[in-house]
Chains A and B, each alone.
Chain A
Amino acid sequence: MIDANAYFGGWAVRTLGVRDPAEFLAAMDRCGIDVAVVSSLKGMVHNTRDGNEEVIDLVEAYPSRFIGLCCVNPRLGAEEILTELDRCLRSGLRGVRLYPPPQLYDLDDWELMEPLMEEAERRGVPVYVTKMLTHGIPYGTTPFRSIKSFVERYKGVNIVATGMNYRDRLDALRLLRKAENFYVELSLDSGVEAARWYVEKAGSDRILMGTGYCLFYPLVGVAKVSTARIPEEDKRKILHENAARLFSLER
C-alpha cells in the first residue's frame, strides 16, 4: 500500500510534527502502509532548501519506505529553483511539491512557472499542488481556478492536487474528465464516500489514497478507501497501483 500524501518534520501548529523517522515508520506499519510519499512541512511553509534536506536524509536512510518530493518556490528565480530541483532529484527525490499561498506566488503566474514546469516535463516527474494543508491553519488556500489553468496548461506533466475537500468535488470531477494529467488525492476530503463518489463518476485511474500523516490520524485515510463500497480492483488502484505508476515503481 502506498500513502500518496504524507508530511514529515517539525510543525509550529500544536504538537503535530514528527521529526523521528522511527515514529513515522511505526505509524505506517500500524496502518499497513509500505511506502509513503513525503513532503517536508518546513519546506512547504518556511525554508525549501532546509526542508528538502530533511526529506533527502529520510529517503537515504529508508529508500524502500519513502518517496520524497522536492519543495520549490518559483518566486526565488529560475536559476535558483532549477539548481535546487537538480540537487534534490540527484539526491533521490522523485517529484515536486508546490504550495503557493505561503510562498507568495500565484500558480498561474506563467512567467514564474514556465522554467520549473518545462524541467518537470523533461525529467518526467510529477508535480504535487497543495490546495490547502488542513482546515483552520493560516497558511492559505490555492484557488481551484488557478489549479485548473495550471493543469490545462502543462498537459505533459502529471499533476496531483492535495488538500481538496468535498466542496471541491464537482470542480475536480470536471477537470478529471477533461485532463488526463490530473490526479486527486483524498486525505483532506472528509465528505461522504469520497472514493466511491469519484470512482462512479470518473473512474479510479487517477484517484490516490493519502493519509495526510503526520497532521491527520493516518488510519482515517486508509479506511476511507479500504472500507469503500467500490470493486476490489478499484481499491487496488487507489491504494497502490496509481501511485506506483505515477512514480514508475516496480510492482
Chain B
Amino acid sequence: MIIDAHAHISCWEELGISGDADYVVELMDLHGIDKACVSDSRSLRYDFVQGNDGILRAVRRYPDRILGYVTVNPWHGEEALKEFRRRILEDGMVGLKLHVSHTRVNYHSPLCDPLLEEASDLEVPVLIHCYDGGASADKAASKHPRVKLILGHMGGPDWFDAIMVAKRHPNIYLEICSSVMERGIIETAVRHIGAERVLFGTDMPLLDPVVSVYKVRDAEITEREKRLILGENMARILNLEA
C-alpha cells in the first residue's frame, strides 16, 4: 500500500496550478497511490475553518482514498484548539497540519503548546512545513516527546540537519516531498535513522507525485525499506491495516 503523508486540495492561482479532490485522485491512480493525507491551501493562506470544511467534503467524496488533516492557526488559541479537537473526534480527520510560513508561529512557540499536547493525547500525527533544517521541530519535540511530529519537506535544503534532529528524537518522522531533489537524500536518511521513520509524501497537486515516487524507486535501499517508506510507516502511524 502506498500512502501519501503530505498532499493538498488546493489552488495556487499565481502559479497556474490547482487541483480539487477529483484531480488529486486522478494523480493517485496514475502513480499507484492508495491513500493521501490532505490539507487545503485555503486553511493555510486564508481561513482555516473554510479550508477544513473543504477537506471534509473531499474525505466524504473519497472515503477510501482521502484522509484529512485539520489545519489551524495557533494565534487563534482556544478557537484553534476546539476546531482541531472537533475535526478529529467528530469528523474523523487523522492529523494536524501546521505551517510556520503562513502563520509566523514557530513550532516550539508557546502558542503551539496546547495543540501539540492535544495531538499527543489524541494520538494523531502533526505534519509541519519544515524548511529550517528542523531547528524549530528540535525544540518542539523536546517539549512534547509524545507527539508524532512529521517534518514535511525533510527540513528543506538543510536536510542533513533535519536527519540529525530526527536522530535525537524518536518521535520525529521525515517526509520526503520537496523541490530539493538531490540524489542521496533518501539513502542518507535511512542510514542514520532507519527506514522506519522516513515517510513518502508528494505535496501534490503543487508538486508532481512522480518526483517522490521515483526518488524512492531510484534510491539505493532495499525493497523492504522502500515498502516501509512508501506506506507501511504511515499505516502504522495512522493505525491503518497495511
Whole-angstrom CA separation of A223 from B210 in the bound complex: 7
- Which chain B residue shows the least CB distance to A168? B15
Q: Is A8 an interface residue (CB 8 A)?
A: no
Q: Is B197 an interface residue (CB 8 A)?
A: no
**Which single member of B160, B213, B219 contacts A223 (CB below 8 Å)?**
B213
A194 CB, min distance to chain B CBs, angstroms: 6
- Which chain A residue shows the least CB distance to B207? A190
Among listed A116-124, A140-148, A207-215, interface-contacting one: A207-215
Among listed B105-113, B175-183, B223-231, interface-contacting one: B175-183
Q: Mark A151-170, 1 if CB is under 8 A from B, else 0.
A: 00000000000000111011
Q: Is A102 an interface residue (CB 8 A)?
A: no
A165 neighbours in B (Cβ, 8 Å)? 179
A193 neighbours in B (Cβ, 8 Å)? 27, 208
User: With A217-B219, A219-B218 in contact, is A135–B180 under 8 Å at CB?
Assistant: yes
Whole-angstrom CA separation of A173 from B15 in the bound complex: 12
Count residues of chain A with CB under 8 A from any CB of chain B: 34
Q: Is A181 an interface residue (CB 8 A)?
A: no
Count A/B pairs, Cβ under 8 Å: 96
**Beta-carbon contact of B211 and A190 below 8 Å:** yes
B22 CB, min distance to chain A CBs, angstroms: 14
Q: Is A191 an interface residue (CB 8 A)?
A: yes
**Beta-carbon contact of A218 and B206 below 8 Å:** no
Q: Mark A211-238, 1 if CB is under 8 A from B, else 0.
A: 0111111111011100101000000000
Whole-angstrom CA separation of A149 from B93 in the bound complex: 49
B205 neighbours in A (Cβ, 8 Å)? 192
Q: Is A137 an interface residue (CB 8 A)?
A: yes
**Beta-carbon contact of A227 and B181 below 8 Å:** no
Q: Is B158 an interface residue (CB 8 A)?
A: yes
**Which single member of A190, A219, A224 contacts B179 (CB below 8 Å)?**
A190
- Which chain B residue shows the least CB distance to A201? B16
- Which chain A residue shows the least CB distance to B204? A192
Known contacts A135-B180, A188-B181, A190-B179; 15 further A-B pairs (Cβ under 8 A): A16-B183, A134-B180, A135-B157, A135-B179, A169-B15, A170-B16, A191-B207, A192-B208, A193-B27, A193-B208, A213-B183, A214-B183, A216-B181, A217-B214, A218-B218
Q: Which residues of B contact A (CB under 8 A)?
A: 15-17, 19, 27, 30-31, 156-158, 160, 178-184, 204-211, 213-215, 217-219
